[in-house]
Structure 1
């Protein structure tokens, strides 16, 4: 069987990162299709309609009968299409039960670990609205962050983030959120780790030492480093996404070529 994963710009698309990072880290082969965002005022992306029923990314096309990821699919292959990051990850968990996408029930504290990981991933998926809005994803920029220039809602989100990470790390022993193995819950929080790197100072006072160590552990993953390297080399700039990240704050550095 073969997978084709459709994503958008690595510099901007936090949603694309989640299944991409999980599949790369757990060695699930796939063919990557990067379709850049268009510079539209309303944010619509009609070019995504050719592969995604919602015109959004990520979107996974699964060809169960195709022999390899590099085999070119044909319209007659009738792929199984899975859209939306959480659905993609759950679908992969169904097809790869031996992988630690969610904690195994046969391991110590397995049921508790899985319940916690699913709850934390769902909270990230549905919550942290202020953090998303005021700390937009831009892998290549370093932007000055100060509590005086941020909203109380962002500080609450960062406080909850630290509370959640610390709980998982202490309860299950690390180095990842639900125990010794990288899994779906870590993939869901990886975009936040990149945001903390972009917004210089955002974690300095609001995160515990345990959370800071966890963030560094994720940043050092070879697969995430490969994503960042690719993001820094992208030629595209989307004005509304640039402005959405900067929001009038001081840009300390632009690492993009």
Structure 2
């Protein structure tokens, strides 16, 4: 909850897989007198802490209830399958859901991909968390499909991952209660959108936040910029898609036209 007018503060929630450090540093540089508190919450808890005022804004996973919350989509993550390093799919740069049809695909209770029907063979029971599911993958029980940031968050030396080309994807957005768009919320929106310190609120065109590998602009209210290609893991060839040939000659090689 934002502090009193005499002693303001700002609380920012964020879900696993999101790294808010970059934006927090900019906040501390621009508003050193307004403390910023970071609150890590689960994807399921994120909207509750926004609704009850525990946080002023948050980095959440879409979708959001647009009747209650405002949201600025930031990026869409590549979806990957987490497997043991000796799994057969590691021979490929990327895989499809059909490649996993005979595998036990773990479906944790905190899944964020919103499957209509999870692929592969079902496990005997659903793990409570993504962290628990990763432990089961390491034990050889099955494989796990998650956004790439969660595969990195729960990285283990004995596991690796590959992009899944036809799996659902998860998008990350900045969200806040629509009826609580305070000046401090506007300040943070400006930071996320890349406005300079002297920019007038709402006048600068937003810029895409997609600096890390495996991210591309989210659909809907995109914050601008072109989509990045999905991350490719080295070493595989099976089921990989060939790159399009590059265009012809270089620009600027023609002679200037002579004036008459």
Which category of TM-score, normalised to the shorter sequence, fits these structures?
Answer: under 0.3
Question: Comparing both structures, which one devotes a greater share of its residues to strand?
Answer: 2
TM-score normalised to the size of structure 2?
0.25
TM-score normalised to the size of structure 1?
0.25
Q: Larger Cα Rg: Structure 1 or Structure 2?
A: 2
